[in-house]
Amino acid sequence: MPTPIALRLLNQHLAAPQHTTPEEVAKYMCAMQAQEYRMMRWAVAMRTRRPSHKAFKKAFDSGKIVRLHLMRGTWQLVAAEDYWALIDLCAPVVSAPHNAF
């Protein structure tokens, strides 16, 4: 039986990546941390079978993957086709009034 660490690496597609495009990675992960461009490019590339900064740039520049604030003050990277569903899911929480302490 695989160790918990091995399972995590497999589930995160860091060991034996199965995706061929940045869009597939973003779709599989749902929302990835994306504070800095270089680091989000690296995080996506290391989860693809044939990492390519050009493939990432093409997907990002064409809008197939999108960087946005879903929750909290952080940036996330998502597949463009999931954009509206994630906005609908997160908007009620983000726009709800917050109690002051």
pLDDT grade, residue 101 (50/70/90)? very low
Query: Could you tell me which residues come within 8 angstroms of residue 92 by beta carbon, excluding any fewer than 6 positions away?
Result: none
**Cβ atoms within 10 Å of 77's Cβ, excluding its own:** 25
Q: Tokens representing 5? A: 């660490």
Per-residue pLDDT reduced to its tens digit, 16-46: 999 999 999 999 999 999 999 999 999 999 9
**CA distance readout (Å), 82 to 4, 17, 70:** 29, 21, 12
Per-residue pLDDT reduced to its tens digit, 71-81: 777 899 999 99
Every domain of the chain and the residues it spans: 17-93
pTM of the model: 0.84
Work out the widest C-alpha separation in the chain, in whole angstroms. 49
